[in-house]
Amino acid sequence: MLFGKKKEVKPDIYTEDKCQACGENTRRQFEEGDYVYRSGLQCKKCSSSNTLVIAIYGEYPPEDKH
């Protein structure tokens, strides 16, 4: 649209956990209190609770490129 209002695109925010036992990476929605290098949620693959948050990031839809 030439004169249309630019639509604000909000990113989806994810937390990525890595299991320290089996190496499985799990992506989930960000939860309040998450921070990088704190303990993550239980591993879905091996049920180990020795997981670590390795990244928190926002993912934008592909068309919104800076």
Partner 1 sequence: MLGFSQFLSQLGGLLGGAGSEFDPNSPLLWVYIVSIAIIPFFMMYAQKFQSRVILGEISKSLGKLKTMKEGARKEAVNYVKTAIRTFTSNDPATGVDRFLEYFTIMPVDLDPSGIVRKLDHIMRTRDERLRAEVRKLCSGASDQEVSKVENILEAATALNMIYKIVRHFYLMGKRTTSMFVLVQLQMVMPLLLEEAEALQKAINAFKRGQPIGDGIGPMVVGKMMFGKEKKLVAKETVYSEDEFKGRKLYLLKAEGPAGTVGRPGEAITRLAGDMGIKIDVIVMIDAALKLEGERTGDVAEGIGAAIGGIGVEKYQIEDVATRLEIPVYAVIVKQSIQDAITIMRKEIADAFEKVTNTVYSVIEDKTSEGQSVMIIGVGNTMGVGQ
Q: Which residues bind partner 1 (CB under 8 A)?
A: 11, 13-14, 16, 30, 32-38, 52, 54-60, 66
Task: Quote the tokens at residue 48.
Answer: 């180990």
The single-letter DSSP state of residue 32 is T
CA gap 57, 7 in Å, rounded: 21
65: left (phi over 0), alpha (psi -120 to 50) or beta: beta
Residue with Cβ nearer partner 1 (23 or 58): 58
Rounded least distance, CB 16 to partner 1, Å:
8
Residue with Cβ nearer partner 1 (47 or 60): 60
Residue with Cβ nearer partner 1 (27 or 45): 27
